[in-house]
Structure formats: C-alpha cells, structure tokens
Chain A
Amino acid sequence: MKRRMRTAILALLLPGALNAQQTVAPTTQEPVGPVRGDNVAEYNIVNSIELGDRFAAIGGNLDSYKSQVNFGNGIRLLGSFFSMNSRDGHGKYFDEIVLTTQGLGNDPYESAILRVDKNRLYRFDMHWRLNDYYNPGLASAGQSGGNFRNTRYTAQDDDLTLFPDSKYKFFLGYSRGVQAGPEITNVGGFIAAVPTGAADSETAGLTSLRDARNEYRVGSEFQLLGVRVNWMHGWEDFKEDFFVPANANGDGAPAQQTNPYHGTSPYWRVGLFMDKKWFSVNGRFTYSDARRAYVSEQSGFLGGAPQLLQVVTRGTGHRPEATGNLTFSIFLGPKLTFTNSTALYNVRTDGNSEFLQLNNGTGQFVTQNFLFLGIRTVSNQADLDYRVRKWLEFYGGYHYSDRYMRNILDPSLPTFYQTSILNAGVFGARIRPIEPLTVVLSTEVGRANQPFTPKSDKNYQALGARLQYKKKSLLFSAYANSNYNNNSVTFTAYSSHARTYGANWTWSPLRWLSFNADYSKMHLDSLGGLAFFEGGDSPVSGYSLYISNLHTGNLGARFALGKRADLYIGYSHVQDTGDGRSNAQGSGFGTDVPEFQAAQTFPMKFLSPVGRFSVKINNRVRWNVGYQYYGYHEDFFTGQTFTPDQAYRAQTGYTSLLFSF
C-alpha cells in the first residue's frame, strides 16, 4: 500500500516537475515532510520552507544581464508552503489557510499568495508580487538609448467574498501597485511655446519616479426575477510624482522640474446572466471615467537663456467610457448551438490645459485644448456550433464591426471623421478520430475598409491547426499557425506574414524517468514603405523588409535516483537566424542606407542550460544544489568597435535546504 502510494505520488509529481523549468530555484515540487501532513487538534498542517543561497558571476554586459535575468547573490527564502485544513470542515474561525511564497528577501521576482477560507461564510485571497525591473535604455541590436529605468514594481490584490456559496454574495476588494526608483528620461531642457514645440530641444535628466495606484472595490451578486445580477463599483486612484533637481544632468542646462500627476478612475460594472436548458443570456455593462489633473513646473536658466524662466503647465482631463456586451445563446437540441454577441464601446477624451511662461516678469499665457478623440464601436458576432458526431464538431461565424472615430486636433482646424467597417468570417472544426487524439482547425478571414495605420489589419487571414495525442503518461502536441495581413494603398504597401510551427513532447516511461522536449519556429517577414531624411533636403523613399526566423527549444529530463535523490537537467535555446545573411549590410533590398540594412534582421542567441540535484537527508529535510548558465549574444553587434556590446555570460546557481517542521 505504502509503495503504491509512493508510486502514485511520484507519478503525479514527475510530469509537473519536468515541465521546462526556467529558473533553477526554487526547488519546486520535491516532496518533503509527511505526505499527509501532521494533525494538530482539529486541523491538518502541511508545511515546507526552502532557505538557500544564490550566487551569480557575470561576464560581459552587466546591464543586459540585469534587464533580462537579474538574479543576484545572497541568502533568501527561495520558497515556502503552508497549509492548514480543518479535518471536519467546521473550524472555529477558518477551515483553510494556504500560504505560498517565492523568492522573499532578496530575489528580483517575489510573490506571496494567501487564501483563508471559512466554509460558506467568507473567502479571502491575497496575491502580492514584486518585480525588480531594470532597463538600461533600449539595449538590443547595437542600440543604447537614453531611457534608463531601474524600478521596483510591487502589486497586491486583496479580495474578500462574504457568503461565497450563497445566492447573495458580497465582494470587497483592494489593490495597490507602486513603482518607484530612479530613471533617466527626457525632461525638456529648452522650453518652447506649447503646442508647436517645433523649436523644442530635449535633454536627459535623472528623475526619482514614483507611481502609485490604489483601487477599492465593492459589489454583490444576487438573483432577481430569475436573472443573476452581479454589480461592482470601484475607484482607482493614481498618483505620479517625479522631481528633477537643478543641474541634475550637469550638462550646462540647469533646470528644475516637478510633475505631480494625480487622478482617479471611478467605474461601475453590472453583469446579468441566466443559464437555462435551452438558452443562456448574459450581459456586461460598464461605465468609467478616468480623470487626471496635472501640474508641471520647470524653472532655471534654460537653454542658455540669460533670464530666469519659469514655466507652468496645468490641466485636468477626463475620459468617460461606456461599454456594453450582450450575448444570447440558443441550444437547439444537444448538437446545435447558436450564439450572438453584440458589443458597444463609446469613449471620448476631453479636458482643458494651460501653458504659462514667465520671463523676468513678462508673462505669456496660452490655453491649450485637449486633443479630442472620440471612438464609438459597434460589433456583432454570430456563431453556429454543430456537433455532427461525438468525434466531429464544426463551428462557423460572421463578425461585423463598425468603428466611428472623431478627432479634433485644434478648434481652428476642421474636425476629422473616420469610419472603419470590418467584415470577418470564422470557421473551425474539432476532430477526435480516436480516443487519445484531438485535432483542432481554425480559420479567420477578415476585410477592413479603413485601417487606422499601415500595420493595422486590413485584408487578413489567420489559419491554425493543433493536434494533441494523450495516452497515459505520454503527451504529444503539434501546431501550425499563420497570420497574413496585406494593407496596400496608393503609394505604398504593407504586408506581413507570420508563421509559427511547433511541437511538444512529454513522456514519463518509467517511474524514475521522465522527459520533456518542445520546439517552435516563428517566422516573420514584414514589408512596408518608408520615407525619411538622411541629411539632404528631400525625403528618401524606399522599402523595409524585416525578416525574423526565431527558433526556440526546451529540453528537460528528470531522474529519480533510488529513493533519496532526484536529478533534473534541462536546456533552453532561443536563436534568431535572421534572413540568412552573414553580415549587417545584407543584400541591399529596399533601401540601401546601411543603418536600415543593419536593422532589417536581428540574428541573436539566448541559451540557458540548467541542472539541479536534490537529495533527501531524512523525512523532513532535503538538500538541493543547482547550476544555470545564461548566455546572450547579438551576431552583428557583439565584439564591434563602435556599437555597444550587449552580450553577457552568467554563471548562476544556488544551494538550499528544504525542510518541514
């Protein structure tokens, strides 16, 4: 019995554990402690804690490593799990507590998830996460931009549901997100008259950024005349402050800038739904009004001006937005379903703004109107689903959308109107010729008469096929998708061809052995018209042809070595082979400007082998050790003299104790 249970547990854990493990730690899913937990009074407790030390040795471009991986050195709580369940479902204050954490203390990516539940009375969920975000400007393909940012983003969602199993539920929620840290960004060294900005000149400055949002929610759900009603009212408050001290960038353009930018977005949401034997109907109606108020103040001897300048821009804006969705389904017998879904979207942006410039007592005052942008979209989808046999099902549908847009750039200019109508048809099939095999086919063909940009969908088609074979411990799946879009106009053309192929294979042939492998190829070729200046008086016209052939593969294998040890080895490889050229200049198709030639493809490599060994010391303690290598390389730019070298090699690893008490 004991052996069978161990087999069952391993069979359950192994396939999950071998799925492409992207980071070497924490040591997920290795069992520690009694499988069934410990009984304490009327509760059962299961717990595990993994305390470990990471190390990282980086060669090459540290900034690239920080922006892509960012694991550092030091001790941290790599992971933990705690659950407490009442054994009879009648706990005094709670029936379940589940707490999981990851990376607390020192990792760049941390999370904690808590659930507290008392049957039929309440349910509380909390999800906290931290993302240590670092970006050294735009740092690929030989570019290094000026928009540095190094912030820590923390977010927390709290949701309390009262009477979760009752017909009358109540919801309370609170979410908070804070992003804070230094950034180098464009703050405007010169100040020019708004709105033209034609003579404006910019310079980078160091700012201390802080964005904070707080969202409060209250709602309930109940039944009224046979219809389930769910409503929610929320407020999201937003606040951004940054401060640039005088002469922060030390470039001879002493300026000080503050920019408090605050606002709130109250919203209402009402959902109605009813699900009966032969029909279902549901609707979702929302209204929100994003409001923002801002003051931006700059002062100093700007741009070498002899006088002290002080500039204040201030304003308030609002964007009311109303949406509605109504969906109606009729189940015409067990085989045929008709669904019609209608959606309405209506939004406008409006507000007022002022620009005030003081020059040693001489004032200039300009009132600046918000750029008015109104969008109204009505769309409808009618779909029919027909199950011919148990193993064969078809669906098809017609989608129509009408988008009307109104735009006022300036009251002195005419108002611009635009209507875009999209007609699309969808068709698909699900075939299950034998029990373990499922094939899914899908097609969408669409035509839009007024795409907003040259890259927008105009004449497009999306084809997809997916195959899955699942039998016992073997899972094999393969897929092929293509997305083509053609958007031709009088003087230029835009066409984009994206094709993706891939396969995934997971197999656990023996109790102690399991494999995973997947491969994917993503092809993109995108042809578009270009017009630009390269120093002369006349713009240059040409074409850009961007080609990407991106291959990704993951391999993983896991071995249970006897009863005590587990070994996992894996390898992840990402490589863009570009358009096949061997140097940055290529064949000269389209425009022969070297800078364009170099930017038309981006061959690169990103690879990461990983290995992890875990051994059971006793029933309550495991020791783990792991190693992961990261290597990043840009073919045309690594090792070049005049372009930033973004390549790096990182040896990372960890050792930890996973224990239960």
Chain B
Amino acid sequence: MAYAPKHLARIMKSGTAAFLFPVLFAALPALAQKDAPSGFVGGEPCKTCHADVWSKFYKNPHYKSVASGKETAENTGCESCHGPGGAHVAAHGGKATIVAFSQLEPTKVLDACLRCHGETLARANIRHSSHTQAGVVCTNCHSIHKSPAPRFLLADKQPEVCYGCHADVRSQFSMPFKHRVNEGALACTDCHNPHGAFQPTWRNGERPRMMNQVIAAEEPCLKCHEEKRGPFVFEHPPVRIEGCEMCHYPHGSANSRLLRRPVVFTMCLECHNGAPGFSRTGQGDPVPFQFHNLRSPIFQNCTNCHSHIHGSNTDAFFLK
C-alpha cells in the first residue's frame, strides 16, 4: 500500500501524539508538583489568622506578586518570604513551623530579601557593608507589614530610622547650623547609601564609607553645590584631594557655614603655616603675606577677600 506524503504526515502526527500523550499524562503530577512544591498552601489559609495583615496587604508593594497570578507558589504572597506554610497551618501557628523573620539570624534575613531584591546595583555591596558587619540588616530599618512611611516600607520617617542607631548624628543635626534634614529639605540617603556603597575613590581611598557617589564618582556634596565642581583655572588643591570635610562638618556644626572652627583664620592657618613637607610642592602651605595683620578684623575672616576659596577662574589667590 502506497501512502501519499500527506497521509504519512498525518500518521506521523497521530503516532507522535499517541506516543507523547501517555508520557505527558504520566509526567503531569510531577509538573504539577513543580508548580506547587511540597508544603505550600497558598495565601488563603493565612488570611484566617492574620486578617489584620492581609486586609491592607494590597497597599504593600509585595502585593504585586499576588496580583500577578502568574508567579509560582514560592514566589507568591506570604509564602514567598515566609516559606511553605503547610506545617504552620497544621500546627495552628507557631514561629517554629515557618520562616519567622524575628527569629532569623541577620544573614538569613539578607538571604531571604536578596532572593528578589539582590539584583540592583545600589545593593551590590550589601553583604559586606558596614551595616551588615554590625548585624544591621533589612528588617532593622524596614517594616514589611506595619510601615508608617509612604515609601520603601521604612520602619519610620527616614532620619528617625537612622537616628535609632546613629544618635551622635542626631546630635549633629540639632546644632544651630546644619543641613535641613530634620526640616525635611534633605534626607540621609541624599548623601549615603545604607545598602553598602562602593569603596570611595576620593581622598586616599579611605573613610568615609557608605557614601553615595554623584555624576559618576564624585562626592555627594557636589550634587547640590554644583558651582564648586569646577574645573577652575586655579584649583584650591585640598578641595580636590582631601574633600569638603577638610574644612566643613557635613551634618551640623556650632559654627556658621558648617565650618570646623568658629573663626576662619584659625582654620586656614592650621594649614598655611609654612610647615615643610606638605602641600603640592612639598614645601608647605605659604604663610599669608606680610600685609595680613592678623590683629586687624579685616584679615581675620580670610574669605572676606578670598571669597572664591573653592576655586577661581581669574585669580590665583581666589580673590574673585
């Protein structure tokens, strides 16, 4: 019997189908098990006891995993963070039967959160950040279910979260002269990366750490104080080499303009004293010219005349 090619094709198809069907049928339970791994019960049972969490969970950014309807069981809703809930349901609750973040070691908390949140450049160094070294991990600053903050599920308003540990910084922002963080005009994360920054490239590669970098890799001060970026015909080298904190306290100060000294000339003369071995020439920063009678008030505020002290395009002495 001769078969036309189209008949052959039909037989091949039906034969293939006849062969594949039982195989697929046999494999279905296994596939289904892959979709719903052992112990996962879905979010429904959780609502029974944790109604307060569930009732407002639609406002939580994590709700999108539920709304999607396409995620696998281990990536959906409560069980995506707390793990399979079967044992927890069977035991009628209990922290030992489920992943309870209050019971986890810091590194385990990190592992749980970074499973989804790790793929972001801003958190690339979180595992070896100063925070992680000190045992401060995600749930120390973020409140996943009870966040009072409008964004990022923070456990409190941003500066208050940071002040909880950095009480010394709170003191600095209580000073008469300060960046307006408490007033809401600035936030800690304008300058800092709490999730671990890259090693700083300014100064001598040393402290401070946990700093944000702007315009590629510059100190965060230049994000707002753009006019001090330069380049200038005449650079004041410490600005470029040691950074702004050579003369300024970045958080707050008892001295105007966040300066490290209340009177300007004492601060300038600490470097401009001619001590050999320093400065770009290695011969010391020059002592002010003779006509600078330091007992005269006009010379005590150096920046009265040297007003372009961060750099100038027209004057080597930063006069204009």
Contacts and interface: CB of A to CB of B under 8 A. Distances in A.
B160 A267 contact: no
A401 B205 CA distance: 6
Nearest to A601: B262
A265 B227 CA distance: 12
B216 A418 contact: no
Interface in B200-233: 200-202, 204-207, 213, 215-218, 224, 226-227, 229-233
A129 B174 contact: no
Given A147-B307, A197-B316, A606 B135 contact: no
Given A22-B173, A349-B235, A383 B270 contact: no
Interface in B270-313: 270-271, 273-282, 285, 287-295, 300-301, 303-308, 313
Interface in A98-156: 98, 100, 102-103, 108-111, 113, 115, 117, 119-120, 125, 129-131, 135, 137-143, 145-147, 153, 155
B40 interface: no
Interface in B256-271: 256-257, 259, 261-266, 269-271
Instruction: Indicate the member of A204, A453, A491, A546 with the most B CB atoms within 10 Å.
Output: A453
Interface stretch (A473-481, A560-568, A653-661): A473-481
A155 B224 contact: yes
Contacts of B125: 282, 327
Contacts of A486: none
B165 to A, nearest CB: 7
Interface string B159-187: 01001110110110111110010111110
A399 B206 contact: yes
A337 B185 contact: no
B229 A238 contact: yes
B292 A532 contact: yes
A47 interface: no
Given A129-B186, A554-B170, A454 B270 contact: yes
Interface stretch (A50-58, A302-310, A522-530): A522-530
B139 interface: no
B114 interface: yes
Interface in A566-621: 572, 574, 576, 593-596, 598-600, 602, 604, 606
B248 interface: no
Interface centre among B52, B128, B186, B229 (most CB of A within 10 A): B128
A141 B291 CA distance: 24
Interface string B99-110: 000000101000
A370 B246 contact: no
A532 to B, nearest CB: 5
Contacts of B315: 188, 194-195, 197, 200
Interface in B88-120: 105, 107, 114, 118-120
A109 B294 contact: no
Contacts of A140: 177, 254-256, 262
Contacts of A16: 148, 156-157, 160
Contact of B313 (A5, A315, A327): A315
B176 A68 contact: yes
Contacts of A383: 128
Contact of B304 (A145, A196, A438, A503): A145
Contacts of B11: none
Nearest to B143: A12
A287 B307 CA distance: 31
A533 B290 contact: yes
Contact of B205 (A268, A345, A350, A503): A345
Given A290-B231, A453-B271, A520-B167, A323 B216 contact: yes
A535 B217 contact: no
Interface string B42-70: 00000000001001101101011011100
A402 B205 CA distance: 9
A280 interface: yes
Contacts of A572: 174
Contacts, number: 491
Nearest to A535: B293
Contacts of A194: 314-316
B59 A85 contact: yes
Interface in A415-443: 416, 418, 420, 422, 424, 428, 430, 432, 438, 440
B124 interface: yes
A288 B280 CA distance: 24
Interface string B112-138: 001000111100110110000111000
A557 interface: no
A254 interface: no
B235 A502 contact: no
A453 B150 contact: no
Contacts of A315: 233, 313
Nearest to B263: A599
B215 A454 contact: no
Interface stretch (A245-253, A374-382, A507-515): A374-382
Contact of B254 (A98, A416, A550): A550
Contact of B204 (A188, A236, A403): A403
Contact of A109 (B157, B184, B255, B320): B184
A273 B121 contact: yes
A13 to B, nearest CB: 7
Contact of A188 (B218, B233, B319): B319
Contact of A202 (B167, B230, B320): B320
B300 A19 contact: no
Nearest to A446: B206
Contacts of B246: 453, 455-456
Contact of B176 (A313, A343, A606): A606
Interface string A616-635: 00000000000000001000
B241 interface: yes
B121 A271 contact: yes
Contact of A22 (B183, B241, B263, B264): B183
A358 interface: no
A159 interface: no
A228 interface: yes
Contacts of B204: 377, 379, 401, 403, 420, 422, 448, 457
Contacts of A359: none
Given A453-B246, A454-B273, 17 more contacts: A19-B163, A88-B67, A228-B119, A280-B127, A323-B201, A329-B127, A371-B316, A416-B281, A455-B271, A456-B246, A466-B165, A490-B275, A529-B273, A535-B293, A546-B266, A599-B261, A604-B254
24 contacts: A44-B58, A86-B58, A89-B66, A108-B183, A188-B315, A198-B289, A265-B229, A287-B216, A345-B201, A378-B205, A385-B133, A422-B206, A444-B207, A477-B164, A479-B167, A504-B170, A530-B269, A531-B273, A533-B288, A539-B287, A544-B270, A576-B254, A593-B295, A595-B294
Interface of B: 52, 55-56, 58-59, 61, 63-64, 66-68, 105, 107, 114, 118-121, 124-125, 127-128, 133-135, 146, 148, 150-151, 156-157, 160, 163-165, 167-168, 170-171, 173-177, 180, 182-186, 198-202, 204-207, 213, 215-218, 224, 226-227, 229-235, 237-238, 240-242, 246, 254-257, 259, 261-266, 269-271, 273-282, 285, 287-295, 300-301, 303-308, 313-317, 319-320
CB-based closest 6 A-B pairs: A89-B67, A379-B205, A286-B216, A141-B262, A22-B182, A345-B201
